[in-house]
Amino acid sequence: MIKAPSVWGMALPKFLPGTRLVERRMEFEELVQAVQSLTADDAFRARLDAQQWRTLSSYLTRHELPRGAELIREGEVDRSVYLLGQGSLQVFRRDAAPGAARVVMLRPGAMVGESGLFSAAPHTASVEVMTASTVWALRLPRFEELCSRMPPLALEVLRGAGGVMAARVRAHLTKQAAMA
């Protein structure tokens, strides 16, 4: 088995006694691997090197969510974008016709809430935790700080989030055309 290079510049053993920082680094490495290996059409495909991922990690907050928790509520404004590290999420519409409520299931590595980086408009769908999950949040104030301190990195994150949003709009339009 080939081990992927560590985002932190060195391969870490599976078990290290010690601080929460080591655990966070290992969990973040799992997130990066999940993001980079996700093959979905709407995958977050920012072209970040190891140093940029390390820098981005300091702008993200980690959240553990239990099954059944609602990450995003349809109709509410949330200026955050989330990367799914572990678990699974369901995106659904509350006002959809029976059988059409679920939009998609998301796996580790997926991005959700990307419209929050672009607009203060209410979300058009809800996101529910299907299995206990870990998400990494990039809140708008932290993203704005990233923009002022590391413009090239912020631009690449924005390009990646824009790509996710464009892929989802295309998929929605294709689905609407097929139903017409």
Is it the case that residue 135 has pLDDT exceeding 50?
yes
What per-residue confidence (pLDDT) applies to 162? 97
What per-residue confidence (pLDDT) applies to 23? 76
Winning range, highest mean pLDDT, from 16-30, 131-145, 163-177: 131-145
Q: How far apart are the C-alpha atoms of 95 and 2, rounded to whole Å?
A: 46
Query: How many CB atoms sit inside 10 A of residue 121's CB?
Result: 9
The chain-wide mean pLDDT, for the chain, equals 86
Query: If one looks up domain 20-179 in CATH, what number appears?
Result: 2.60.120.10
- DSSP per position, 95-119: TSPTT--EEEEE-TT-EE-GGGGT-
In 3D space, the residue among 60, 58, 51 whose CA is nearest the CA of residue 82 turns out to be 60
Query: How many CB atoms sit inside 10 A of residue 123's CB?
Result: 19
Task: Return the SS3 of 83.
Answer: strand
| Residue 30's pLDDT band (cuts 50, 70, 90) | very high
CB-CB contact of 138 with 48 (8 Å)? no
Query: pTM for the full model?
Result: 0.83
Contacts of 72 (CB under 8 A, 6+ apart): 78, 82, 112, 113, 123, 125, 126, 127
Structure tokens at 57: 């990690």
What per-residue confidence (pLDDT) applies to 55? 96
Can you tell me the mean pLDDT for 103-118?
94
Phi and psi at residue 130, to the nearest 5°: -90, -40
Winning range, highest mean pLDDT, from 2-16, 85-99, 148-162: 148-162
